[in-house]
């Protein structure tokens, strides 16, 4: 398969995986970016907030959207008002403040956010050939190319997995977890 067709097939596989998870009842994660504190109209202070930029399903090393876009996940946080007693480390206080910022920015309690996710350039063959993130395009033979997943950031190219097999495994795992959670909620 040539490179443009391989990327089109990758986009279709990502969209299909997202559709399967949505049909199975999975809640999508919310993509968000940080909007720094600033002044509106030059003098009205506006606090830092998180802005919703989309949604998708976290599939291990990738986040797939219903449109077939792929993202390299950034920081993952759940919006909550969880307050823990006692002394907390600086990193725990930072995480708590981030969870509260998510609520203050209009996200619902319990929603999972993926902050500062990096879009993977599925429309750019040359960029995908040199990509070092979780989804790459590599030549398979003289005229062929395939979309492959680097499921561990430090993994060499020899450890890459075909995208279709990776997505099938991740969707199957997610379906199993959803079924187990559903069964547990019905019969505690």
Say what the pLDDT of residue 95 is: 83
pLDDT tens profile 28-45:
999 999 888 888 888 888
**Which of 101-105, 107-111, 177-181, 184-188 shows the lowest mean pLDDT across its residues?**
184-188
Average pLDDT across the chain, whole number: 90
Q: Would you mind telling me the total number of residues written for the chain in this entry?
A: 188
How far apart, in whole angstroms, are the C-alpha atoms of residue 24 and residue 90? Answer: 38
Domain that holds residue 125: 3-186
Write out the H or E segment, with its range, that includes residue 88. Answer: none
Annotate 163-179 with DSSP letters as a single string. HHHHHHHHHHHHHHHHH
How far apart, in whole angstroms, are the C-alpha atoms of residue 28 and residue 31? Answer: 9
Say what the pLDDT of residue 73 is: 95
Token code pair at residue 175: 């379906």
CA-wise closest residue to 56 among 14, 102, 104: 14
Number of domains within the chain: 1
Q: Is pLDDT at 141 greater than 80 in this prediction?
A: no
Q: How much is the pTM?
A: 0.86
Say whether 103 sits in a helix, a strand or coil.
helix
pLDDT tens profile 85-127:
666 778 887 888 888 888 888 899 989 999 999 999 999 999 9
Percent of the chain's residues with pLDDT above 70: 95
Residue located via tokens 């790459």:
136
* End-to-end CA separation in angstroms for the chain: 49
pLDDT tens profile 55-95:
999 999 999 999 999 999 999 988 887 766 666 778 887 88
Residue 22 contacts residue 29 (beta carbons within 8 Å)? no
Token code pair at residue 132: 């070092």
Phi-psi region of 106 (alpha: psi -120 to 50; beta: other; left: phi over 0): left
Token code pair at residue 87: 């002394």
Say what the pLDDT of residue 81 is: 79
């Amino acid at each position: 398969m040539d490179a443009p067709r391989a990327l089109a097939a990758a986009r279709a596989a990502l969209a299909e995986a997202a559709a399967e998870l949505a049909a199975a009842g999975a809640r999508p994660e919310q993509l968000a970016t940080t909007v720094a504190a600033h002044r509106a109209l030059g003098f009205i202070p506006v606090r830092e907030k998180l802005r919703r930029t989309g949604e998708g399903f976290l599939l291990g090393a990738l986040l797939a959207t219903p449109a077939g876009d792929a993202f390299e996940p950034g920081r993952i946080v759940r919006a909550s008002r969880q307050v823990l007693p006692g002394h907390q480390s600086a990193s725990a206080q930072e995480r708590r403040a981030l969870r509260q910022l998510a609520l203050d920015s209009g996200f619902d309690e319990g929603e999972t956010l993926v902050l500062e996710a990096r879009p993977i350039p599925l429309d750019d063959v040359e960029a995908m050939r040199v990509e070092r993130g979780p989804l790459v395009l590599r030549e398979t033979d003289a005229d062929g190319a395939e979309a492959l997943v680097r499921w561990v950031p430090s993994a060499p190219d020899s450890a890459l997995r075909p995208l279709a097999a990776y997505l099938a495994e991740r969707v199957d795992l997610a379906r199993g977890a959803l079924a187990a959670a559903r069964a547990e909620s019905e019969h505690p």
